[in-house]
Structure 1
């Protein structure tokens, strides 16, 4: 199989890009044609500044923003793992295991809602949801506020950026969101091709693009510049082979079922993740998950909400077979049908998918500021 070769580079914060004056996320449109990616949207109530971005970067890597000070955002969203997690499901807070695959942070600035079931409306809302979640960061707001107050460099940075006499957690989330909005990739071979450089894609990738928009009909859901319509579908994704035998993950899964208010019968009997149903409580939404972007996927394996596929070839073969079966297959979308792609066509389609990723985005973990006693009051 001919694949697009990439190289690893050090990622510089695209501050000029990040401060682009856009007012909202990429608009989902099932009919949107494929396009090069524009600048990320920046909310009017959380403007980008270099100082805020740098503060957010420090906080993103700081384990002290978790209950036992052992888990940072970067623990489950590792730069070296595509800003996601290398396992099929993410590690959890110590003593637990998560129940879903960690999605990449790269290009998350373009989503209208975050998480697999769209439960967070912005990056500012996503950050505390993860950091304070019982099976993720398990942070109490009061302890987080106190820890930040005992770090002199953070006191200075929060005062310079937000005017806070002492750091406030709501502004910590805003700073982290600002940093995450710099993790964008707009210079992929595909983007270069769409911007006029017709040599940017291999012959295989060009043929794959034709299949993507035609015979394979991937564009039905993976459309627009983000390659996502941001809607929710049941694809019949099968459960991972080890899912039922993973005791800690099963405990987390039952806890999440209970916390999200499912019926007692469902709590005791359901074995598969109900996804979007947790938000809507509608039977027809069981097993649905948001369409993920296909950008940067060269680095983000494994794939799907449960990490059940380990390379892009497996994903394409899954679709080629017409999807799969799970506990909620009655809700499986009618859009999923056997594609009858040949081996050569599968190879071409994978080559196109690989062209949606550019150089790997690498950032070294920053040196974090130490604790120190609070200054004595002036008398």
Structure 2
């Protein structure tokens, strides 16, 4: 179920797609990571409502702003050709994500990474698989204006909003804009995203004292998660992510070779992210964090995603490599190799703790059952009726101007 928190608390959630990024030590200085330390000094899990979602001081939550943001989230007019909205790639019926290996793209393109769920996303210190955006306010325009996502232009999007009386009124009420400003549209969307919270998962209830919230199988799986499986080394705290960036050995997507549009997008992204000429011509996989840092030791590293709401967000990993929890568990159990024996193209950067776990079939089954406990009831939402265009001036007013 969705719980709407008091606006003053700033507590909201939006669970994130991705999935298990295995076993790495926490380095991110976030509330979630800090809360992971147990009295014994090791990482632990925690209820989501034990932390507060960060809210920028210049974008406080208000009911009117949230309502405006909801409309804008579902409105395709915030994009290039008015056909792609935020919800197009973050569909409530698909886990608030997109249920294919790569997300959909702007018409005539396909994306090059798996679409992450909006659920719980605003708890992250940084957005996107490689942390390219510092906040929800920065994430929204990056998606809406990106060449393989929204492809929008500021002036065109503002002009469309200005032709919609309901938006003119709402922007005036919320932000004091004489005419809707695109920067405030992103602030409203981020505010809407912060209002979705799921803090009553079976795991949350169990951690808060309800020992009947997990089945016996899930309790055994929790022991594997925190012990032999080593998952808790990275997936810890209230968010079940230490927000570190890790190369766990995910093999490259084969879709680059099979899909012409995907190959074009792949090369475009190499160019757009400042690749060297050699890298642009020879890259055979997503280089991840390297695009931000340009450090060779960051090739193939991606953010440890939250495990929350992942029951509804398959496929998993940054390139949608695995479609089931069972496949993910097998990948980690093998030490970071898929069923064909493939691993990252940057094995020198692969986390040293990625080694065969030796889990039995029973332990793997228990672990898969426990992963379900990170998700509560599916969060659904009816898409709102969008306001319509109307001329800025009546026919009589235009005639008066002509005279």
**Do Structure 1 and Structure 2 share a fold, with TM-score over 0.5?**
yes
Kept in 1: contact 2:10–2:61 (CA 8 A): no
Deviation of the 1:45 alpha carbon: 1.4
In the alignment, which residue of structure 2 is the partner of 1:5? none
Kept in 2: contact 1:25–1:109 (CA 8 A): no
Secondary structure (helix, strand or coil) at the match of 2:200 reads coil
In the alignment, which residue of structure 2 is the partner of 1:243? 256
Kept in 2: contact 1:26–1:110 (CA 8 A): no
In the alignment, which residue of structure 2 is the partner of 1:298? 311
In the alignment, which residue of structure 2 is the partner of 1:355? 373
| From 37, 40, 43, the counterpart of 2:48 | 37
2:253 aligned with 1:264: no
Secondary structure (helix, strand or coil) at the match of 2:232 reads helix
Where does structure 1 lack aligned partners over 5 or more consecutive residues? 1-8
In the alignment, which residue of structure 1 is the partner of 2:393? 375
Output one character per residue of 1:247-291: Cα deviation in whole Å (capped at 9) or x when no partner: 111111111111111111110011100000000000000000000
Output one character per residue of 1:288-336: Cα deviation in whole Å (capped at 9) or x when no partner: 0000000000000000000010011110110000002121122101121
Output one character per residue of 1:329-358: Cα deviation in whole Å (capped at 9) or x when no partner: 221011211110011101111111100000
2:8 aligned with 1:19: yes
- Structure 1 residues 143 and 25: alpha-carbon distance in aligned structure 2, compared to 1, 3 A threshold: farther
Partners of 1:330 and 1:184 lie apart in 2 by 39
Kept in 2: contact 1:19–1:42 (CA 8 A): no
User: 237-246 or 259-268: which moved more?
Assistant: 237-246
TM-score under structure 1 length normalisation: 0.94
Deviation of the 1:240 alpha carbon: 3.1
Partners of 2:139 and 2:10 lie apart in 1 by 22
Instruction: Tell me the C-alpha RMSD between the 2 structures.
Output: 1.8
Deviation of the 1:15 alpha carbon: 4.5
2:99 aligned with 1:86: yes
Pairs aligned (count): 368
| Aligned positions of 1:40-189 closer than 5 A | 40-189=53-202
| Aligned positions of 1:296-335 closer than 5 A | 296-324=309-337, 325-335=343-353
Partners of 2:10 and 2:250 lie apart in 1 by 39
Partners of 1:40 and 1:184 lie apart in 2 by 10
In the alignment, which residue of structure 2 is the partner of 1:207? 220
Kept in 2: contact 1:205–1:348 (CA 8 A): yes
Kept in 1: contact 2:256–2:266 (CA 8 A): no
Deviation of the 1:235 alpha carbon: 1.0
In the alignment, which residue of structure 2 is the partner of 1:28? 33
Secondary structure (helix, strand or coil) at the match of 1:19 reads helix
In the alignment, which residue of structure 1 is the partner of 2:18? none
Deviation of the 1:85 alpha carbon: 0.3
User: 247-256 or 31-40: which moved more?
Assistant: 31-40
- Structure 1 residues 145 and 15: alpha-carbon distance in aligned structure 2, compared to 1, 3 A threshold: farther
Partners of 2:216 and 2:108 lie apart in 1 by 49
Kept in 1: contact 2:255–2:262 (CA 8 A): no
Kept in 2: contact 1:275–1:287 (CA 8 A): yes
Partners of 1:229 and 1:288 lie apart in 2 by 14
Partners of 1:21 and 1:353 lie apart in 2 by 27
2:209 aligned with 1:220: no
Deviation of the 1:27 alpha carbon: 4.2
Secondary structure (helix, strand or coil) at the match of 2:379 reads strand
- Structure 1 residues 119 and 108: alpha-carbon distance in aligned structure 2, compared to 1, 3 A threshold: same
Deviation of the 1:209 alpha carbon: 0.7
Deviation of the 1:151 alpha carbon: 0.3
TM-score under structure 2 length normalisation: 0.88
